[in-house]
Amino acid sequence: MAADLLARAGHGVNVLQEEAPRGRTIGWVPPQLARELALGELTVDLPEPWLRAPLADGGVLELSRDMARSVEAIRRVNARDAASWPRFCERMATLARLLERLYVEPPPSLVDLRFAFRLRRLGRQGLEDLMRLLPMPAAELLDDWFESDVLKGALGAQAVRHLLQGPRSAGTAFRLLHYHAGNPPGVFRVPASNLAPLLRARVAPREAKVARITVRAGEVTGVMLDRGEELRASLVVSAADPRRTLLDLVEPGWLDPDLARALRHVRSRGVAAKVALTLERAADWKTLTLAPSLDYVERAYDDAKYGRVSAQPWLDVIADGKDAEVHLQYAKADDGDLAALATRLLTPFLSVTAARVLPTPASWPDGQPHQAELALDQALWMRPLPELAGYRTPIKGLWLGGQAMHPAVPGLAGYNCARELLRSV
């Protein structure tokens, strides 16, 4: 996205990628951004129902984009929860709209009056909800509103997706809110889109591995490829994680030692694996979440907390005909026979003929797709560190536009980075 904006502004742009992106882009695409970039062929997909969780009696709980259908589905499980669902969704949607505004611009400053005015527009109830929710464990938020174990378990699992924490960890309610941004009220699943191929068609990337970002007198001068070719440039925008960009690709000595030390301590732990399944017959549903309670998800996290593969991980399945992809957490792609584990757990629901663990993309440090874990202390004006939150680095001409930067939504960091860069040149 950064390349497209810079090319539109008249810059000569070379895009280098080490590997072709796999599948569709997972993340929200703001409508105003789609209009600005004239993404007329953009398609955004979200399963309907967006969540399907099995019940102990053999039934299922299905949550839909349609509020009335969700309420009726929840009523069959718990009448009190059905009454609470619309109010819960309305309160969360109010806060999610704030995040949506913050996500399409550079991270706010605590002393920025515009940020203060936006908070005031939430009103008294909204401000109270925000200040209470941000540091809150997702489990406590959900316990406040609901009684049903399966409803709380499925939502609590979404709150800790790709996070080495459990739903009883502080700050995980913020993650649930993050996944609500860009969605209709009551939807807490990130959609998929064809954004990446649309952008690649505009600025065709070249497959190449960068060995070094070259710097002279504190200013970037270009990049050196692994085969020895040097590309001269006065501006470099890196979508690699900041630690690799500044500690591995830049020669030592250009960073303040305190910043280098802080970069080494940015948390970027991978906690999930993807398993591809081939099915004997097509599934008659699109999605299935196996996280029957908050206690189940928390126990799954307990194993990971002590460095073990979860014996009972929580699973999220997206099915498409005879193919399915499983999000398996808490484990990593190289943690034993995860294909067999996923197959065993899904046997009551699917007839699997083949299963394989998908390789982790090279751009995910330690298997973390957000590059830096999206936790409250690594979010907004602290993402991934306060010193780097504005996308620029201490090296003149070197900018950061990858997933580790605000707002941890694919494409949006590059969009915000390019806009800031264009304002500065």
Q: Average pLDDT for residues 10-31, to the nearest whole number?
A: 86
pLDDT digits (tens, 9 = 90+) for 216-257: 999 999 999 999 999 999 999 999 999 999 999 999 889 999
Q: What integer pLDDT is reported at residue 335 of this predicted model?
A: 79
- Identify the pLDDT of residue 117: 72
39-76 pLDDT, tens digit per residue, is 889 999 999 999 999 999 889 999 999 999 999 999 99
Question: What pLDDT was estimated at residue 126?
Answer: 85
Place of tokens 């663990």: 357
Distance CA 179, CA 25 (A): 15
**What letters, b where the CB count within 10 A reaches 16 and e where it falls short, cover 26-40?**
ebbbbeebbeebebe
For the stretch 402-421, what's the b/e string if a residue is b when 16 or more beta carbons lie within 10 angstroms of its beta carbon?
bbbbbbbbbbbbbbbbbbbb
Question: Residue 371 — very low, low, confident or very high, per pLDDT cuts 50/70/90?
Answer: very high
Contact 85, 321 (CB under 8 A): no
- The whole-angstrom separation of Cα 356 and Cα 385 is 36
pLDDT band at 145 (very low <50, low <70, confident <90, very high): very high
Give the list of residues 6+ apart from residue 167 with CB closer than 8 angstroms, or none.
137, 138, 139, 142, 156, 157, 159, 160, 294, 297, 298, 301
Q: What is the pLDDT of residue 85?
A: 98
Q: Residue 160: is its pLDDT beyond 90? A: yes
| Mean pLDDT computed over 12-36 | 87
User: What backbone torsions phi and psi does residue 23 show, to the nearest 5 degrees?
Assistant: 70, -160
Contact partners, residue 333, CB within 8 Å, separation at least 6: 273, 274, 357, 358, 359, 360, 367
Give the chain's mean pLDDT: 93
Instruction: Please choose, from the candidates 150, 215, 141, the residue with its C-alpha nearest in 3D space to the C-alpha of residue 173.
Output: 141
Among 310, 412, 408, residue whose Cα is nearest residue 37 = 412
Residue 422 has pLDDT above 70, yes or no: yes
pLDDT at residue 116 greater than cutoff 90: no
Task: Using pLDDT thresholds of 50, 70 and 90, give the confidence band for residue 405.
Answer: very high
How much is the pTM? Answer: 0.93
Percentage, residues of the chain above pLDDT 70: 99
Reduce the DSSP state of residue 290 to 3 states and report it. Answer: strand
> Per-residue confidence at 113, pLDDT binned at 50, 70, 90?
low
Distances (CA, A) of 107 to 135, 226, 381, 389, 407: 19, 34, 5, 7, 8
Q: Which residues pair with 93 in a beta bridge?
A: none
Average pLDDT over residues 176-191: 95
